[in-house]
Copies of this chain bind each other. A is one copy, B any other.
Amino acid sequence: MSVITAFETHDIRFPTSLQLDGSDAMNLDPDYSAAYLTLRTNDPTGLAGHGFVFTIGRGNDVQTRACAAVGHLVVGRSVDEVLGDLGAFARSLTADSQLRWLGPEKGVMHMAIGAVINAAWDMAARRAGKPVWRLIADMSPREIVALLDFRYISDALTPGEALSLLDAAAHGKEERLRTLLSQGYPAYTTSPGWLGYSDEKLVRLAREAVAQGFRTVKLKVGLNVDDDIRRCGLARDAIGPDVGLAVDANQRWDVAEAISFLTRLARFNIAWAEEPTSPDDILGHAAIRAAVAPLPISTGEHTHNRVMFKQLFQARAVDLVQIDAARVGGVNENLAILLMAAKFNIRVFPHAGGVGLCELVQHLAMADFVAISGKKNDRAIEFVDHLHEHFIDPVRISQGAYLAPLAPGFSAEIHPDSLDRYRFPEGAVWRELSDANADQASVL
């Protein structure tokens, strides 16, 4: 019998703050990072599973330590038992009563648990010889329902309702599978829109994005509304009237500010306004949405669990949502969120970028298209062209679409060489930066 024999963690950081890649109104100088983990087994095939939490620098050590704190719930367990019932496995992690106190189901501890659950999915998909999206798409409705934790969401989605949704989606599944394999899944891009970029760079990258086939471009806003208006105008001119223009305030505003500023941005025909205020403020989003309608409102990349998504839907607080593959409790909780979104008829535009978020979340969006919502042409996955070179199975983009990954697993594995070089603080990249800083200091 194969068992999980080891639980390895790695504090990996990329010095992205040097270029202001990823700069927005709330996150001015991120060093994109990953609290990365690998589950090892004694399986003779060398079976393993990889997962991670994305962070933006300081505190990645805390996140890595939180991942390690889940190890005792995993090491020594039978591979068959874990992979044979991923629903029970996920619930066993979120139910640890002592760790639960540290959330519950939110923040550092919940993200750590999510990364471990995702690593188990990576392992399950590798063993099945399929990409994760296909592993889910090939499951029966009943198998998918068994993956979910309905605790705290049964007033919005019962197991019976979930089963009905999945049964209905079973029609046309084969055709959607063929469509996905031939067309891919729509992408939109945030690459032109970082706040740290000059107007010239914004315009150049926006034009390039359209030329590359992207149908929606997103700009970061929220530091200064006059700058936002100028940048939206430049972007709209660059992309023309037919390409979508979304804006993302990264939680910068209070409710009244959001209403005031979005009213001024509405003239640019905004596809959606993302994270106008605190991700915790369900009623605030509902108030903003009511005040600026029909401008679509969204949030979700920081929405910490299914209970919060449930309320966003119940309160009609959003027109669409982002999901994030590494913020909530792994694939299982994201499936619950996708099923609720399908029930409430809310479009999903997955959050990506960072370190490996594109690689992970494409699987969830594609599984949703084939097996859950059945839709992809009214939605898109975020794409940012950063750091993909560190992944063994990086995303493939063609004509503004994500091509379906075909390799077994969750596309989560980072090259061992990158793990070595970017390990913080002792990897070669950080040692060199530290030496360079020391040299500069001695010159000054």
Contacts and interface: CB of A to CB of B under 8 A. Distances in A.
Interface of A: 26-31, 55-59, 61-63, 65-66, 69, 72, 96-111, 150-152, 154-155, 251, 254-256, 277-284, 287, 302, 304-305, 307-308, 310-311, 314-315
B63 A58 contact: no
A62 B58 contact: no
Given A58-B69, A59-B102, A254-B154, A97 B278 contact: no
A302 to B, nearest CB: 6
Query: How often does this chain occur in the complex, in copies?
Result: 2
A100 B111 CA distance: 14
Given A62-B66, A254-B152, A256-B155, A107 B97 contact: no
Contacts of A27: 97-98, 100-101
A65 to B, nearest CB: 5
A301 to B, nearest CB: 10
A100 B28 CA distance: 11
A38 to B, nearest CB: 19
A149 to B, nearest CB: 11
A311 B287 contact: no
Contact of A56 (B97, B287, B315): B97
Contact of A106 (B30, B106, B315): B106
Nearest to A57: B98
A307 B282 CA distance: 9
A315 to B, nearest CB: 6
Determine chain A's interface SS by DSSP, over half rule.
loop
A280 B251 contact: no
B58 A99 contact: yes
Given A62-B108, A65-B65, A97 B26 contact: yes
18 contacts: A26-B97, A27-B98, A27-B101, A30-B98, A55-B102, A58-B99, A59-B69, A59-B109, A102-B108, A102-B111, A104-B278, A106-B107, A107-B109, A152-B280, A155-B254, A155-B255, A282-B283, A284-B311
A135 to B, nearest CB: 29
Given A101-B55, A154-B255, A255-B155, A110 B109 contact: no
Given A106-B106, A277-B152, A308-B280, A100 B61 contact: no
A280 B307 contact: yes
A111 B66 CA distance: 14
A116 to B, nearest CB: 14
A35 to B, nearest CB: 10
Nearest to A287: B155
B278 A152 contact: yes
Contacts of A302: 104
A31 B284 contact: no
A280 B58 CA distance: 27
A-B complex: 3 closest residue pairs judged by Cβ atoms? A107-B107, A58-B98, A108-B108
Contacts of A72: 58
Nearest to A66: B62
A100 B311 contact: no
A56 B107 contact: no
Given A281-B152, A283-B314, A101 B59 contact: yes
A95 to B, nearest CB: 9
A300 to B, nearest CB: 14
B61 A97 contact: no
A315 B111 CA distance: 28
Given A58-B96, A66-B108, A280-B304, 7 more contacts: A56-B98, A58-B98, A59-B98, A106-B280, A108-B108, A154-B255, A283-B315
